[in-house]
Structure 1
Amino acid sequence: MSFLNWPGTKQTKPSVKINAPSKNSLILQKARETLRQSEALVDYLETHGIDVPNFTAFSPAYLADKKYDDICTDLSQIAKDLILLSQGPMRWLRIFFCSHHDLGAWQAALRFGYITIVPLNRPIMIQDIASASRMDVDRTRRIMKLLASQRCFQEVKEDVYEHTAMSAVIAQERNITADEMFEASSLTAASIAKEPFASHATHSAFNLRFGASPYQWFMANPERGERFASAMAGFVQSQQIVS
């Protein structure tokens, strides 16, 4: 028997010295900045009589003015810095290099109409989403789970989904949907390799993917062209700041 386990021997756990966090820690500096900007954001909303946003489909509309936009921009950048510092380069890169799966989920959701299939006022089962989008249940389920991990849709219980603030905005603002650029963007490096020392429209990623310039392709595919035009209008609308 070990001496440490001998009857009557009092066992003590080794003491662990916990150092106080350094006041000069960049992580803590960013965390404090995040808190200050978050408080400024909430204070600005309350001053203007607007409820604080949440993730539900009934989240209040965002205030559209320059001051609010400046606070959001600063907060977003600080939060990104804090995430990078806490995760470290390797973990951040591992997550980022898997983001093409997220883009693929968005592409499928836009192409097959998941956004508008899910009702704005009630949940819907995954089998009904698959049926309405004319897809198999398995891939529909996997795509919806990926989207839910990004706060686009919420899985309220197993295989039952409802809108979040993000998906509801897209469902109500049809102008901001398009997916052709998702398809073309994956060929950016290939298009550069094809003509590495000159920039020509004929060697763009879009041209490499679809065999024509965007204008030519959308003219030949008027339904998608109308949607792209609406998407551009929606982009302009989303960038407008009302002072």
Structure 2
Amino acid sequence: MTATSAPETYPETYYAGAYWGARRESPEDCAQRTAHFLGLLAACDPFLAHWHKPAKTRKDARQLALMPPDVLTLAELFRHGVTREPGGPALEELGFRCSFDNGGASGDCATMRINGGVYSDAVPNHCVLSVPWRGPNADRLLTVSVLLNVVRATVLSWDPDWAVAMSTAYERRFREPHSAPFALGWITYLSNRLGRVPPLPAPVHIEPVEDRGTLIVLTSQRFTAANPEHVALARRVRELMTGAGLMPPIAP
């Protein structure tokens, strides 16, 4: 009799992402926004106050600190991240890419990926921050008090159409259409450009971000895809957002 292996399981990881439509910006513009974002992140938690340029080894990375953020250094990173055809010119309509991390260990590391200055509909502009999923830093960061400030920092820095703090396990379980805003997360931000957020059931918390848009917090607990009450609440709020025309319907 052939033994069957147990289903593969994955840790429930989390990220905060911001997404926006076509917006032509220079490497210097992207650098200014990134410097502002890094400064706001440092105020969210000490773990988010240390960042390094890409390097071959962690030892090399420690010699390439990005904090305090220097706009000229960041602009050069974005300039080097322009998309090119093999052997051809820069495809500036696809924007400028930049990525870095804070040098933590596996599972206890923060990473950032940015693609800004895109003015083609082929690729979305985005800034995605992955946060630790285990250890004392995760225990501290994966709280509403910290992640709400992180999402707010993305809004104030990048002026996105949509932003989210999301469980990857929930995202894998409930696939969304490939159109923005394409998911409802533990914490979700919607720009006023997209419309007005309807009344939502308790325990959902709603608050404005200046005159830019609205933050939606599903629960003050750590949201997890393993909690059926969290999932049921997320699906109900998703239905209400669809009914208000703020999110595309989910295909059957």
TM-score (norm 1): 0.23
Bigger share in strand: 2
TM-score (norm 2): 0.22
- Does 1 or 2 have the higher relative contact order (CA < 8 Å, sep 6+)? 2
Bigger share in helix: 1
